[in-house]
Amino acid sequence: MWKRISTFLLGGLHLMGCATFEAGAPKGQVDVIAHRGGSAYRPENTLAAFRNAIALKAHWFELDCTLTKDGEVVVIHDDTLARTTGGVPGEVKDYTLAEMKRYDVGSWFGPEYGAERFPSLGESLDLAKGKIGVYIEIKNSDDDSKLTGGILADFKDAPRLFPEHGDEILKRIEASGSRNLELARKVIALVRERKMEKQIVIQSFSAIVCAVALIEAPELRTELLASSSEKDPQQWGRFVAWLRLLDPHGFNPNKNDVTEALVRDLHAQGKTIAPWTVNEPADMARLARWGVDSLITDKPDVALGVTR
């Protein structure tokens, strides 16, 4: 898998013998990504989970983020607070970050985690810097179906969107008022402020998020999440179309959508593949045998044992 070498250490420190941090697995090994920090062992998307991912020697931890009412980037998977707070009502977009931090997000998992609060993306990156890579899943935070449908229709015969159509696509996104534009830009800014570009991967189900990252932050690695749907038989086809048009660095489907042929095809295109969420050892072994680059898993220790 493509390796990311961080450049945040100063040359003077290097001369003193400090090694630079390398995110990712040693060459020839499958990268293990701790899903939501490794949610089999700690409350998901918390600093406790991220610390544990480091302790387990995962190569990366993955987190989910979205925007609060006051425009802060908060780490949470759902659009609502209820599931991980013991029933607090309402949507994330209706709370400020300070208001969200009033709530315990660990006790549902175990009483010893009662002090855990929703972390900001900035806090999570600060914890990871120089220690572990971070997959930032930027949640699809707006209904962009009209926008994306129009782009797919207008560019159905184009081999790809970028760089030829980058300016036009960005103007369309800006004109739409999509909240995904603000979210993607704020995530990029937080990464750049910390000079962590080589330690980060951006991933999203949102074609708009991926487009913004590819246009405005070419120094960042961007990967498209994907899945099929029984309720929407056309969904997989749309993701494949976006894979062609966006030309991201990687394509990360649900584990049930992965075939050996898909892995070969993606590699032939120069792209990586990181299936999710792979928790059974037999699935880990099969996917590793097929040559996937990474495994996104709630059990990073198990994946490390299977793939080494």
pLDDT of 39 strictly over 50: yes
Question: How does the average pLDDT of the chain come out, rounded?
Answer: 94
**Are the C-beta atoms of residues 241 and 160 closer than 8 Å to each other?**
no
Domains along the chain with CATH numbers? 4-307 (3.20.20.190)
pLDDT digit string, tens, across residues 166-185: 999 999 999 999 999 999 99
pLDDT of 9 strictly over 90: no
pLDDT of 15 strictly over 60: no
User: Rounded mean pLDDT of 28-54?
Assistant: 98
Can you read off the two tokens belonging to residue 247?
A: 């030309």
Alpha-carbon distance 115 to 121, whole Å? 18
pLDDT digit string, tens, across residues 192-201: 999 999 999 9
Long-range contacts of 6-12 (CB under 8 A, 24+ apart): 6/130, 6/196, 6/198, 6/199, 7/195, 7/198, 8/129, 8/130, 8/194, 8/195, 8/196, 9/130
Alpha-carbon distance 290 to 301, whole Å? 20
Instruction: With cut-offs at 50, 70 and 90, classify the pLDDT of residue 1.
Output: low
3-state secondary structure of 252: strand
Alpha-carbon distance 210 to 172, whole Å? 14
pLDDT digit string, tens, across residues 268-297: 999 999 999 999 999 999 999 999 999 999
Alpha-carbon distance 305 to 300, whole Å? 9
